[in-house]
Homo-oligomer: A and B are copies of this chain.
Amino acid sequence: MLIHSASQLLTIAGPPQRGQELGRLGIIPDGAVLFEGSTIQAVGPSAELLASYPDAERLDAGGMVVMPGLVDPHTHAIWAGDRAAEFELKLQGKTYLEILESGGGILSTVRATRQATIQQLVKQTSARLWQAFRHGATTIEVKTGYGLETETELRMIEAILQLDHEGPWELVPTFLGAHAIAPEYKDDPQAYTDLVCREMLPALKEFWETSTFNRPLPFVDVFCETGAFNLAQSRQILEQAQALGFPLKIHADEFDNLGGASLAAELHAASADHLVTSSESDIASLAASGTVAVGLPGTPFGLAENHYTPAQKFLEAGGLLSLATDLNPGTTWCENLQMSIALACRYMKLSPAQAIAAATINAAAAIQREDRIGSIEPGKQADLLLLNVSDYRHLGYRYGGNLVNAVIKRGKRFPLPAAELEVQ
């Protein structure tokens, strides 16, 4: 298949983009891309590729932007129930404690998720993944973390793998048994930490080793925050995970700075995420490492707060910066990564080009898939978007809608279905 006559073909070629290099889109005007099966074979000006491959099946992009599929490297897309009532209470000024007392907060999602069957989890999550996919996310990281007990956490992993198998998207599972202290251990966080280390992680490893599929081990993540896991507990979990061979991620510096970002750099985590309250020294540690800093602008927006990741500081320090939605039922229910780009332009002061690179090649690095996705280069997987615009800057400039005209995943074009007559 030869897609030609793109007004701008954004290759975003080359390695993940560090510091002020972020935003190198590698634009080919009147560009074309050739792929065979799921693999990109050639990229260049339309005239050149049309001449070189006269027999290829053709798709005229008709002056649209063609770009790599978006990559969402941080979501909590799988859960049961919703927290619409809690949203209303928050607007009324109810405090976190009042919401907890009224049965809200993360533990209400844990209750609903523990009660859900794998079929129910798959059905509810599938609707959200379709929203993400039709808005251009072709690879999506999905975390567990609403089970907080071995059985439900593993059920969530199984549901993620089933969803990955069933849908057009590509999912990257992350184990987040350390998302919160399980209610059974609320007075003894250390005992829950020990449970994660001694029971959950070995069980996850065994599940992987006894499965018939052949996929890389999932990420192990931890929420390092006041009220969740302190720095020592976070280190304990991540070091145990690392000893078992799992690649690492961390939620750090969302509200309080406990030192999680520097821990991520020390342990060579794939990413450190949120990073709103990171210190100069945390930023320097991350910038000196291979750990990707993931900004999640939907979260403060969803909460109507004004605390965004200080993106410019990460870029000035020479760090690797990425973007993700943080899709979750408590703080930000938005599946649309284009919206994260629009928010990042306005509140993290990224240019559209920087935000696009952050949500493609650098997002691929945040899930250690930059060798295969995140750019349009020969040998890479044919994950492509056609946008209904002729200038890439409309991503960022426009918001709240969908500029995606067509999604191509692993070389297969998916017409985007109209909304289905079904409650989501």
- Interchain Cβ contacts under 8 Å between A and B, 24 examples: A62-B421, A82-B397, A84-B393, A87-B345, A87-B352, A87-B396, A88-B351, A88-B393, A88-B397, A91-B346, A91-B351, A301-B346, A302-B346, A304-B347, A333-B398, A333-B399, A334-B398, A334-B399, A339-B399, A399-B400, A404-B419, A405-B421, A405-B422, A418-B418
Among A62, A92, A334, A346, the most chain B Cβ lie within 10 Å of the Cβ of A346
- Whether B406 lies near A419 (C-beta < 8 A) is yes
Q: Separation in Å of the A70 CB from the closest CB of chain B? A: 13
Q: Chain A 48-69, CB within 8 Å of chain B: the 1/0 string?
A: 0000000000000011100000
Min C-beta distance of A331 to chain B, whole Å: 11
Residues of B within 8 A of A389 (CB): 423-424
Question: How many chain copies?
Answer: 2
Q: Pick the residue among B85, B302, B388, B421 that contacts A423 (CB under 8 A).
A: B388
Interface residues of A in 226-283 (CB under 8 A from B): none
A245 to chain B, nearest CB (A): 37
Contact with B along A214-233 (1 / 0, CB 8 A): 00000000000000000000
For A400, the chain B residues whose CB sits under 8 A away are 298, 334-336, 338-339, 399-400
Question: In terms of DSSP, what is the predominant structure of the interface of chain A?
Answer: loop
In angstroms, Cα B347 to Cα A127, docked, is 28
Contacts of A127 in B (CB 8 A): 388
Q: 1/0 contact trace for A324-352 toward B, CB 8 Å?
A: 00000000011110110000011101111
Min CB distance, A259 to chain B, in Å?
Answer: 31
- Chain B residues, Cβ within 8 Å of A419: 388, 402, 404-406, 416
- B91 to A345, Cβ gap below 8 A? yes
Q: Which residues of A contact B (CB under 8 A)?
A: 7, 62-64, 82-85, 87-88, 91-92, 127, 131, 135, 298, 301-302, 304, 306, 333-336, 338-339, 345-347, 349-352, 386, 388-391, 393-394, 396-402, 404-406, 415-424
Closest to A132 in B: B401
**B residues near A421, Cβ cutoff 8 Å:** 62, 386, 405-406
Measured CB to CB, the closest approach of chain B to A396, in angstroms, equals: 7
Nearest B residue to A343 via CB reads B400
| CB neighbours of A298 from chain B (8 A) | 400
Q: A339-B399, A399-B339, A423-B62 are in contact. Are A346 and B304 (CB under 8 A)?
A: yes
> Contacts A135-B401, A400-B336 hold; do A422 and B388 have CB atoms under 8 A apart?
yes
- The 3 A-B residue pairs with the shortest CB-CB distance, nearest first, are A339-B400, A304-B346, A84-B393
State how many angstroms separate the Cβ of A368 from the closest Cβ of chain B. Answer: 27
Known: A398-B334, A401-B336. A351 touches B418 (CB 8 A): no
Bound CA–CA A345/B404 (angstroms)? 27
Chain B residues with Cβ below 8 Å from A306 are: 306
**Taking CB as reference atom, which chain B residue is nearest A354?**
B91
Cβ distance A340 to chain B, nearest Cβ, rounded Å: 9
Residues A82 and B399 in contact, CB atoms below 8 Å apart: no
A88 touches B336 (CB 8 A): no
Chain B: which residue is nearest A332 at the CB level? B399
Q: Are A333 and B397 in contact (CB under 8 A)?
A: yes
Q: In the complex, A396 Cα to B334 Cα: how many Å?
A: 11
- Is A334 a contact partner of B88 (Cβ separation < 8 A)? no
Which residues on the B side are within 8 Å of A335 (C-beta)?
A: 400-401
Residues of B within 8 A of A420 (CB): 405
A224 to B: closest C-beta gap in Å: 27
CA–CA, A280 to B43, complex, Å?
A: 61
Chain B residue nearest in CB terms to A303: B346
Judge whether A84 and B349 touch: CB under 8 Å.
Answer: no
Residue in chain B with minimal CB distance to A302: B399
A92: which B residues are within 8 A, CB to CB?
A: 351
The 8 Å CB contact of A417, one of B84, B85, B418, is B418
A7 contacts across to B, CB distance below 8 A: 423
Name the distance in Å between A151's Cβ and chain B's nearest Cβ.
28
